[in-house]
């Protein structure tokens, strides 16, 4: 069957949005005495977002896109799978939801073919043929992320949002409107479980908001004797414990290569939280003064803790020499105690690089992490890449298909360990977007694709980054209004250091 779609109804919206963005840039430059704002631009591919040659889950939202070439007079797109033929006319390709879903189901474990024919204003035609493979492996249907302006001077109007990957429904889990413009960050799930997650709202009335067993609690994960409140970390699969770093974090500017700024620790330790007893456990061998410990996570079975460690150096003067190794220490879920003999998993001196953000796959086979030349905050490091280690064999997978010439980091696994999402600044180098990849049982990784949007021009028109994306098997049981009330009305539960 042939189904004509017609010209895109979003073209006018895209034009109006671009006018609004241009007006904002002019106003900003005038108001700030000549400051400049860098707006996201298209990549070099003939379509944006670049969905050519990607592998997608059978439950993904429509891959809406637009053609990027200048001077297009006419555009025609033909999509084929077996006897089904779908035709689009116009520069924008926007799917009907039901039509897209039907096509995915019929094409599962197979390939959908696309033909793009562009007629140019100056004469001549450009023809592209490309494919999309539909994996039978479903992805967890929700992803959360922080929306934030990618600047380093100031922040405002921050929010954590949750998006259904199967369609375009989205809601705010916490936002500036309900929290007196407080900063917030790090919405993390334990093994992609919607019933076990946590995030922070900063400020005097803030706290760590733990979502567990259908209840949301506001916690003060700080006590005398810690270098700071908890920062990075993860929840144990049982839900009883958490493992976090306690960091004194400072930003600084420098002129090392293409890096604009550096964020580094001047002190950092590890701490175990017992959510049942409201206790903080600080193991002496994981809170040493001569090293920085950070980015702790639990193994899939909850019997080990992986974390990053580096020798202390005078920072920021020698920050380019600061390199973190990956360590492992045993953990007893019955007592909350750790072993006293940490072992090296990935040696920074051997690799002459620095590791951060380790994440174990729920099936226990892989650990994924970010590698940069140095440091612990790689989002402005163009050289930083994702890497993966087979925990059964020690084999390292470089993941070349997933990485770009920009920052690729802040990843999280799907509950079945077949997909992961990560934040990438590929394209313009300024704005982070959420990208997805499939991983097979051998560690083969597919070409990443960006989170689909209903408006194919949304990323070019947006002035905010998608920060720290995290997958979830279901929707959260709270929203921004509820969190706002808790910020204002609920006292944070006090935690004490276990003696």
CATH, residue 59: 2.60.40
499 within a domain of the structure (yes/no): no
Lowest pLDDT segment from 38-42, 130-134, 274-278: 38-42
Distance between alpha carbon 373 and the CA centroid of its chain, in Å?
A: 21
Question: Of 109, 135, 161, which marks where a domain is finished?
Answer: 135
* Number of domains, the chain: 2
Task: Please indicate, yes or no, whether residues 155 and 88 belong to a single structural domain of this protein.
Answer: no
219 within a domain of the structure (yes/no): yes
Task: Please indicate, yes or no, whether residues 127 and 189 belong to a single structural domain of this protein.
Answer: no
Question: Of 135, 164, 194, which marks where a domain is finished?
Answer: 135
Average pLDDT for the chain:
87
Q: In this structure, what token pair is assigned to residue 245?
A: 């770093």
441 within a domain of the structure (yes/no): yes
Give the residues across from 195 on adjacent strands: none
> Domain with 244 in it: what CATH number?
2.120.10.30
Q: What pLDDT score does 254 carry? A: 54
204 within a domain of the structure (yes/no): yes
**pLDDT one-digit tens code per residue, 413-455:** 999 999 999 999 998 888 899 999 999 999 999 999 999 999 9
Task: Please indicate, yes or no, whether residues 411 and 285 belong to a single structural domain of this protein.
Answer: yes
In angstroms, the CA 209 to CA 204 distance is: 14
Question: By the 8 A CB rule, do 219 and 491 touch?
Answer: no
Task: Please indicate, yes or no, whether residues 185 and 120 belong to a single structural domain of this protein.
Answer: no
Which domain, by its residues, includes 115? 2-135
Q: What pLDDT score does 243 carry? A: 98
Question: By the 8 A CB rule, do 449 and 54 touch?
Answer: yes
Distance between alpha carbon 87 and the CA centroid of its chain, in Å?
A: 34
Task: Please indicate, yes or no, whether residues 362 and 463 belong to a single structural domain of this protein.
Answer: yes
Task: Please indicate, yes or no, whether residues 130 and 151 belong to a single structural domain of this protein.
Answer: no
Task: Please indicate, yes or no, whether residues 263 and 290 belong to a single structural domain of this protein.
Answer: yes
73 within a domain of the structure (yes/no): yes
496 within a domain of the structure (yes/no): no
Does pTM surpass 0.85? yes
pLDDT of 42 > 90? The answer is: no
Task: Please indicate, yes or no, whether residues 68 and 189 belong to a single structural domain of this protein.
Answer: no
Distance between alpha carbon 486 and the CA centroid of its chain, in Å?
A: 26
Lowest pLDDT segment from 29-38, 66-75, 99-108: 29-38
Helices (runs of H) and strands (runs of E) counted in the chain: 5, 36
Task: Please indicate, yes or no, whether residues 275 and 414 belong to a single structural domain of this protein.
Answer: yes
Task: Please indicate, yes or no, whether residues 111 and 213 belong to a single structural domain of this protein.
Answer: no
Query: Residue 302: which of 327, 333, 279, 280 has the closest Cα?
Result: 333
Task: Please indicate, yes or no, whether residues 77 and 151 belong to a single structural domain of this protein.
Answer: no
pLDDT of 104 > 80? The answer is: yes
151 within a domain of the structure (yes/no): yes
């Amino acid at each position: 069957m042939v189904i004509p779609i017609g010209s895109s109804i979003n073209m006018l919206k895209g034009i109006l949005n671009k006018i609004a963005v241009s007006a904002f840039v002019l106003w900003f430059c005038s108001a700030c005495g000549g400051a400049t704002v860098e707006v996201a631009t298209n990549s070099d591919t003939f379509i944006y977002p670049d969905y050519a040659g990607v592998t997608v889950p059978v439950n993904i939202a429509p891959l809406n896109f637009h053609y990027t070439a200048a001077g297009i007079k006419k555009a025609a797109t033909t999509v084929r799978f077996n006897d089904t033929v779908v035709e689009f006319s116009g520069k924008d390709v926007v799917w009907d939801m039901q039509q897209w879903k039907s096509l995915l189901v019929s094409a599962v474990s197979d390939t959908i073919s696309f033909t793009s024919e562009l007629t140019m204003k100056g004469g001549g035609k450009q023809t592209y043929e490309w494919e999309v493979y539909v994996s039978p492996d479903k992805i967890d249907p929700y992803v959360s992320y922080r929306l934030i302006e990618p600047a380093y001077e100031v922040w405002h109007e921050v929010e954590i949002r949750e998006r259904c990957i199967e369609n375009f429904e989205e809601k705010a889990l916490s936002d500036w409107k309900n929290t007196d413009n407080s900063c917030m960050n790090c919405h993390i799930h334990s093994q992609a479980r919607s019933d076990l997650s946590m995030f922070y709202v900063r400020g005097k009335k803030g706290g760590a908001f733990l979502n567990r067993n259908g209840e949301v609690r506001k916690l003060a994960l700080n006590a005398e004797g810690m270098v700071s409140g908890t920062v990075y970390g993860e929840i144990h699969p049982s839900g009883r414990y958490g493992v976090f770093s306690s960091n004194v974090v400072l930003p600084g500017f420098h002129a090392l290569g293409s890096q604009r700024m550096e964020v580094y620790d001047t002190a950092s330790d590890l701490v175990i939280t017992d959510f049942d007893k409201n206790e903080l456990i600080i193991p002496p061998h994981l809170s040493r003064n001569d090293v920085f410990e950070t980015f702790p996570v639990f193994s899939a079975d909850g019997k080990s803790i992986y974390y990053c460690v580096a020798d202390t150096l005078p920072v920021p003067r020698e920050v380019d020499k600061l390199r973190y190794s990956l360590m492992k220490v045993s953990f007893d879920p019955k007592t909350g105690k750790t072993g006293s003999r940490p072992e090296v998993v990935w040696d920074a001196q051997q690799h002459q690089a620095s590791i951060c953000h380790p994440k174990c796959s729920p099936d226990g086979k892989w650990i994924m992490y970010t590698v940069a030349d140095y440091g612990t905050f790689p989002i402005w490091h163009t050289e930083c890449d994702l890497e993966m280690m087979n925990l059964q064999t020690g084999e390292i997978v470089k993941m070349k298909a997933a990485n770009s010439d920009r920052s690729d980091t802040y990843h999280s696994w799907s509950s079945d360990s077949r997909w992961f999402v990560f934040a990438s600044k590929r394209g313009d180098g300024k704005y982070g977007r959420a990208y997805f990849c499939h991983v097979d049982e051998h560690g083969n990784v597919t070409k990443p694709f960006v989170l689909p949007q209903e408006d194919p021009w949304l990323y070019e028109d947006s002035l905010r980054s998608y920060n720290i994306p995290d997958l979830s098997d279901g929707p959260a049981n709270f929203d921004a209004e509820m969190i706002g009330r808790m910020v204002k009305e609920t006292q944070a539960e006090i935690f004490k250091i276990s003696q």
